[in-house]
Amino acid sequence: MSDKSVNHTAYWQELDEWRKRIDAIDQQLSSLLCERLDCAQNISTLKLRIGEQVFQPEREKAVLHNVLNHTDSPLKSHALEKIYRCIIEESRLFQHEWKNNQQGKSA
C-alpha cells in the first residue's frame, strides 16, 4: 500500500470521526430545540392569557444580540445570525399555531 493510499484512508477516518461528532451535536441540538419550543409554547400560553401579541421585535433583537455576543469571528457571527433568524421565525410560527389551537379549543 502506498503512502498516498495510507494518507487517503487516514483522511477518510478523520472525516468519519468529525461526522460522528456532528451527529452527536445534532442530537443535542435537537433536544435543546425541542426544549426551546416547549418554552415558546408556555410563553404563547401566557401571552394569550394576558392579551399580548406573539411578535415582539424588541425581544427578538435581544435574543439575537445575546447569541451574537458569544461568537469569536465575523464569519461565525454571520452564520449564527442567519441560523437564529430561522429559529426565531419558526418559534414565532409555532407560537401562532399554538395560540390558534388554544383559541379553537375554547371556542
Q: Tens of pLDDT along the chain (107 residues)?
A: 566 676 789 999 999 999 999 999 999 999 999 999 999 999 999 998 999 999 999 999 999 999 999 899 999 999 999 999 999 999 999 999 988 888 888 76
CA dist 100 → 1, 33, 80, 104, 106 (Å): 64, 21, 30, 6, 10
pLDDT of residue 59: 95
pTM: 0.84
CA dist 46 → 22, 49, 57, 68 (Å): 35, 5, 17, 27
pLDDT of residue 106: 74
Q: Which domain holds residue 36?
A: 3-106
| Residue 90, domain CATH | 1.20.59.10
Domain total of the chain: 1
CA dist 94 → 49, 66, 84, 87, 91 (Å): 17, 21, 15, 10, 5
CB of 48 closer than 8 Å to CB of 102:
yes
pLDDT of residue 81: 96
Round to whole Å and give the CA distance between 19 and 32: 20
